[in-house]
Structure 1
Amino acid sequence: MTNTHDNRHDDQQPVLVLGGTGKTGRRVAQRLEQRGVPVRIASRSGETPFDWEDPSTWGPALDGCRAVYISYYPDLAAPGAPEAVRALADVALERGVRRLVLLSGRGEVEAQRAERAVFDSGADVTVVRCAWFMQNFSEAFLRDAVLSGELVLPGGDALEPWIDTDDIADVAVAALTEPGHVGELYELTSPQLYTLTDLAAELGRATGRDVRYIPVSVDDYAAGAAEQGVPEELVGFLTYLFSEVFGHNAHTADGVQRALGRPARDFATFAAEAAATGAWDASVLAKV
């Protein structure tokens, strides 16, 4: 147990946010700053250098921090991820950083190996294990599909409980800054299950456009992505996700409720809020 003096000292120490410009890391950093918590954002080309491929960058990034939000690049499902995040946990402990919050994914064997590796490090760990991100439709590779009115994806009638990344960030910040979360594995999902047809309908309502889902095989999807210039390694990763992960987690979980005492946001709420901010305004996107 720390004494009052130590707590005052800790208040001046930053929280290290890995992936601090990504969909979850950016939101975690913003929320920490809003709480008056010092934040150190680390990236390969940022003010604080951090590169998963260069372990010599890890210690300097961790020095003097009180906690770290770990978002592994490219994804915890990637080969070698469990070994890398365990090695990072060991370096963190050597540098006196005990509080670790790990972003993970549902239904991914390597991700769950990585979770166990970090838990086994002896650090004070919280894992946030997440469903597919709703913001993929507003900030990432599915945004253009919404604008075109056609979600051409594998998946068929598979059910998934997509998660709002704002909920992920809220849970992560609670775990980084509040007591009561050490040792917890929070599985984060929306309150209900959706098919891709359901999501297309919700996106249509939110945008005022006709948005429909067009099923396609995984192989055809991969070929189309490659034709559009998507890097080969990303095509392979998406193929893996749609083949082995998507639709294999057709159940909701109560992680948001357990961590925050409130329900998770549903997809209709996400879509309405994203539309209100201009996420699918083509004239806005043209300027980005």
Structure 2
Amino acid sequence: MSRSLFFGLFQEIQMTTLVVGATGSVGRSVLAGLAGKGVAVRGMSRYEAKFDNFPGGAEGVVGDLVAFGTLSNAFSGVEALFLISPLSQNEIQMGRNAIKAAQAAGVKKIVYLSVPLPEGADRVPHFRNKVLIEKALKESGITHTILRANNFFQNDQWGQAAIMSYGTYPQPLGNVGLNRVDSRDVADAAVNALTCDDFDNQEFSIHGPDVWTGESIAAEFSRQLGREIRYAGDDLKAWAKQAQHMMQAWMVNDFKIMYDFFQKHGLKASAEALEKQKAVIGHEPRTFADFVTALTKQWSS
């Protein structure tokens, strides 16, 4: 039996959970978490070659959020959707297309990955995009859960060269502080929200347990590596000059606005948010110190 025929018969037998954004750190963990629970799960990517990286038990389907016409097959037989709208100049269109496709397919539940939105945060372009997608989600009438994730620990994986070769922590997070979070905790929350009705039509901020600043992050890397790692500082012009070699100009500008917000206001969790998130995560949040231990071991091997 061909793979496509098997896939068609399978989706007729059992309703499926679709993960959009399945190739990123959160999406991959959601795929694995759902498959581990025995859920029929499908990951969507623009490229079939990416399916090889999906965990066992997860199906792959080609689809592109920019091209609405590609979504009907991907969404066919889908009962629940985990939606990540990627950082893109087309992010609003992509999010709206996913919601429109979900409505057409009769999807019953959407779990959407968004960001915390303290006062003034919507001046960050990709934060503002998510506000508009949330509006479309709420107006869709589909049962939903919104997860507002803080800055990921995993973003530091991109800093390997700066940290290991130049002794510098590069992300200009400032010194007000953020309750940075492990993306695996966000994925755990998504899996629980997708598979349990207790979290329907609610919003949860997902944070790590501790507040971290640019200086304290550099100090943690210093402690674990046994040598000095310096914080690169808050100069956003200098950061942008370096970043322009790795990112498109619009993305550099977007991140520059975001880092400026972090430097002025931080992104700290309230005691109430930390208490509320316990149920949806299902366990105590992972610590940054443990993440750095694993990361530096990987880098040093």
> TM-score if structure 2 supplies the norm length?
0.80
Distance 2:217 2:238 in 1: 21
Distance change (3 Å), C-alpha of 1:96 and 1:153: closer
Q: 2:282, 2:247 → 1: CA distance? A: 40
Structure 1 residue 174, shift from structure 2 partner: 0.3
RMSD: 2.3
Partner residue, 2:64? 51
Residues 11-49 of structure 1: CA distance to partner in whole angstroms, max 9, x if unpaired? Answer: 922211111110100111111111121221111112522
Name the residue aligned to 1:96: 106
CA shift digits 1:66-123 (9 cap, x unpaired): 2111011225xx5x53454234223212211111110112232332332232122111
1:48-127 correspondence to structure 2 within 5 Å: 48-74=61-87, 81-106=91-116, 107=121, 108-127=127-146
Residue among 247, 250, 254 paired with 1:233 = 250
- Check conservation: 1:62, 1:95, Cα contact below 8 A: yes
Q: Tell me which of 28, 31, 40 is aligned to 1:29.
A: 31
Write the letter of the residue equivalent to 1:15.
T
The residue aligned with 1:262 is: 283
Partner of 2:14: 12
The question of 1:171 aligning with 2:189 is answered: yes
Determine if contact 1:134/1:165 at 8 Å carries over to the other structure. yes
More displaced 10-residue stretch of structure 1: 122-131 or 198-207: 198-207
Q: 2:8: which partner in 1?
A: none
Give 1:131-146 correspondences, 5 Å limit: 131-138=150-157, 141-146=158-163
Secondary structure of 1:100's match?
A: strand
Partner amino acid for 1:67?
Answer: A
Unaligned runs of 5+ in 1: 1-8
The aligned counterpart of 1:40 is: 42
1:212 aligned onto 2:214: no
Shift of residue 262 of structure 1?
Answer: 3.1
**Distance 1:247-1:269 versus aligned 2 partners, 3 A rule:** farther
Provide the residue aligned with 1:5 in structure 2.
none
- 1:110 match: secondary structure: helix
Indicate yes or no: 2:217 matched with 1:199.
yes
After TM superposition, what 4+ stretches of structure 1 lie above 6 angstroms from structure 2? none
Shift of 1:247: 5.2
Question: Given the alignment, which residue of 153, 159, 163 partners 2:177?
Answer: 159
User: Per the alignment, in what secondary structure is the counterpart of residue 198 of structure 2?
Assistant: coil
Q: Quick one: distance in 1 between partners of 2:136 and 2:266? A: 22
Does 1:182 pair with 2:200? yes
Q: What is the TM-score with the length of structure 1 in the denominator?
A: 0.83
3-state SS of the aligned residue for 1:28? helix
What is the alpha-carbon distance in structure 1 between the residues aligned to residue 287 and residue 159 of structure 2?
18
* One-letter code aligned to 2:257: Y
2:194 counterpart letter in structure 1: L
Q: Secondary structure at the match of 1:120?
A: helix
Query: 2-side partners of 1:55 and 1:13: how far apart?
Result: 22
* Identical residues among aligned pairs (%): 27
Matched residue pairs, number?
266
Match of 1:273 in 2: 294
Superimposed CA distance per residue, residues 251-276 of structure 1 (whole angstroms, 9 cap, x where no aligned partner): 21325313134332221122223344
Deviation by residue 1:201-226 (Cα, 9 ceiling, x = unmatched): 22233334432212041122111222
Answer whether contact 1:181 1:259 (CA < 8 A) is retained: yes
Letter of the 1:234 counterpart? M
Q: Structure 2: which 5+ runs fail to align?
A: 1-10, 49-59, 122-126
Partner-residue secondary structure (3-state), 2:129: helix
Aligned to 1:4: none
What letter matches 2:110 in structure 1? L
Which structure has more helix as a fraction of its residues?
A: 2
Shift of 1:243: 2.4
Measured in 1, the distance between the counterparts of 2:171 and 2:104 equals: 45
